[in-house]
Amino acid sequence: MNRCPPTERLELLLRERLAAAEREEVAAHLEGCPDCQQTLDHLSATTETPPAAPAPAGPEPPEGFLSRLK
């Protein structure tokens, strides 16, 4: 990648929403581009990380199950 990636692509990198090949391509570009490094630093400081998704609720344990574990 010779040209700088668009800001949207850097945002996707921060949010871990790029495919592995794209991540590698952008990371390789970032190694040699101080302008993109600065943009990424700015984005990471201003971009909110979405909250983690709650764990899916599983089935309820059978009646008396927990008391048998004690």
- State how far the Cα of 11 lies from the Cα of 1, in Å rounded to an integer: 17
- Tokens representing residue 22 in the block: 């794209």
Contact assessment for residue 36 and residue 4, using Cβ atoms and an 8 Å cutoff: yes
Assess contact for 4 and 33: CB atoms under 8 A. yes
Give CA–CA dist 32/20, Å, rounded: 19
Could you read off the pLDDT of 1-40 as tens digits, one per residue?
569 999 999 999 999 999 999 999 999 999 999 999 999 9
pLDDT tens digits for range 15-25: 999 999 999 99
Q: What is the pTM of this model?
A: 0.62
What local confidence, expressed as pLDDT, does residue 60 receive?
62
Q: What are the residue boundaries of the structural domains of the chain, listed by start?
A: 1-48
